[in-house]
Amino acid sequence: MPAWQSRAAAASHALLYMLLLAIPLSGWLFSSASGVPVVYLGLVQLPDLLGRDQTLAELLKQVHVVLNCALFATACIHVGAALKHHFVDRDDVLARMLPLVAPRRREK
pLDDT of residue 86: 84
| Residue 108, pLDDT above cutoff 60 | no
Domain region containing 32: 3-97
List Cα–Cα distances, 69 to 55, 59, 64, 73, 90, in angstroms: 22, 15, 9, 6, 30
Let me know if residue 105 belongs to a domain. Answer: no
| Residue 104, pLDDT above cutoff 90 | no
| Residue 105, pLDDT above cutoff 70 | no
Q: 66, 1, 55: which is closest to 27 by C-alpha?
A: 66
Let me know if residue 70 belongs to a domain. Answer: yes
DSSP letters, 20-39, are HHHHHHHHHHHHHHHT--EE
List Cα–Cα distances, 107 to 75, 90, 98, in angstroms: 32, 12, 22
| Residue 107, pLDDT above cutoff 80 | no
* Residue 100, CB-side half-sphere exposure with 13 Å CA sphere: 0
Let me know if residue 91 belongs to a domain. Answer: yes
Let me know if residue 15 belongs to a domain. Answer: yes
pLDDT of residue 54: 97
Let me know if residue 55 belongs to a domain. Answer: yes
* H helical segments located in 1-108: 3-34, 54-87, 93-97
Give the chain's domain count. 1
pLDDT tens track for 28-87: 999 999 999 999 999 999 999 999 999 999 999 999 999 999 999 999 999 999 889 889
Let me know if residue 106 belongs to a domain. Answer: no
Let me know if residue 107 belongs to a domain. Answer: no
